[in-house]
Structure 1
């Protein structure tokens, strides 16, 4: 046997067993020998959920299993002959066989996203299959017809309702996974954009070194040793500059490609930010509580810049709260002319003498406790750089020991362009 077929066979056997099991949950109307079972509910759900399952194969296997199982049970409980029991249960097997064949012939699963059409179609198939069973079993009568139609409609509606709940839960899980992946991608892109800022800063320093090397070359033209060394340094630095430039263009192209993906609403931005922040807090084992509030939601095309600014401020707020815990509140709102983003924490606050240099590149108050190494000091400078590019402004309200609020105000036109 082909090993790749084993999982498929196991799947069919499992589905067959499920339908056969639920097929044993039944009742007899009007004290007749005609039974209504819950097996068809399981069959409809399987056909709706598992598109990889063949209707014909499952119908053949299920009808066979139903006949054999019911015959075996009756054989154990009674003294009736085997052939009599098979004849007694054969109509039920024909019901499941005809049900599956009609679903296949009518291509019902192709319209399963149309609720009323699907429910009506399955009800018709259920009624038709029950009529086949009643005709073969010679149990048909006028009173039974009304019950067959009623039960057919009820089973189809109930089965589709359960399928709808399943799909809703599945879509919710997919949405959460999408938000989680997007938050992770956003964190990566924010780090790349921070590196772009750092590369641009280094490019300026490289230009300065090249200019100084050239001046040194001009000043020592009469000194071959110094002149040649200055020229060599200038050439080497120029090569480094070209490599930096290629890396910078590559990063910027990646960010632009990421941002071309249409616009995003403030509500969606808030949802992704909340997922990312809670993930970070959970990883840190932090006692900080985090909340996001959204006022008027607008569509933003420059959403990656917004993500980057807010993520930097939120991480700083987490650091400010530290191990003692605290509260972080993010407010996203907009009016007719501008958007307003607030990141507020109840952390340690900022000293007055620090405020003038808070957004200076390289300035930091963060140090690694293990190594004593300082942080890069790029975070807030990067926020200010992005904010300036959008024509926005930032306000800092802080009180030592009480907390800090960063208030970003950005023209809507810049965000929506």
Structure 2
């Protein structure tokens, strides 16, 4: 992250060297705000306020060093001249954060208006700091609005151009992935036929076993040979049914084992892609149940992994549980980082929390607080059990911290080598 911030600050400073002085003072208008606003929009992993601070510092120090090396001026004079320029980016970043501009990036007209407002207002405040508000204020404001609108339009145009380009580039790969995934699911559904058949056979075996049990209870000491032969045949029938079930389950296991290893050949997905899939899927679910829940994803790394099915399943279960447990509004944060050779994923919410007495049993099969409001049927309570099984399959562990009335945080630790397939 530090490298990204340093690079961001350096690129913004360099592009800031293309500028002009519109009012004949130290106030300059440059192209760098285009790069600044575009980067904040497109690179969602960049923390807004921290990025603004980094760029502000880079711009100030860069201009200070250039002026100090090329001009015979006093240090305080150079500082006074250039610190307002750094303040522009800090103010812009704060406004970008406060107006939640990144979440409006998909609305072109609105985002252009927001960026223009931020650009113009930051420039006006810079002029105030410089004590250079001129007499013809309407003309100054008009000029700043025109420049702000132009820069904002270019930034948004660049943002959408790259997004569309990425869509075109990835379309073929996604289509191929979709077809293979569709075939995988279709084959898996075919295997489920044997599971359904086995369930019916199990029910039949249970009925026959119970019938035999009741018959044996009714036996009398003088039971005839024919009756004993009947019970022998019944017992043999039960044995045959159980054997048939065993064969069916063996077919299921064999079929699934053939399907599961690398259903999409050597396919890998990075953390950002996984988060994007989860974000979109979760947003659709939130919209479908009429809640207003904010989702925030952050990732310190962008590892590529073949275990994306497992990670998607883990995150889906944890996030959907948080959504279901939340009131009409709330916030869910998903954070990924590396610690002690483990990839750590935190899923936290500000919901109602879990009672302390339940924390010891939440991973047990059957634990659930959810039910279908239409039918009154309780959930199976297998979601967290499923999550724990997947995590342990990856040689990891999962912990939970919860404060009733404040929220819950699940933390998953998975060895880095299991995620990346590589050692240190």
Which has more radius of gyration?
A: 1
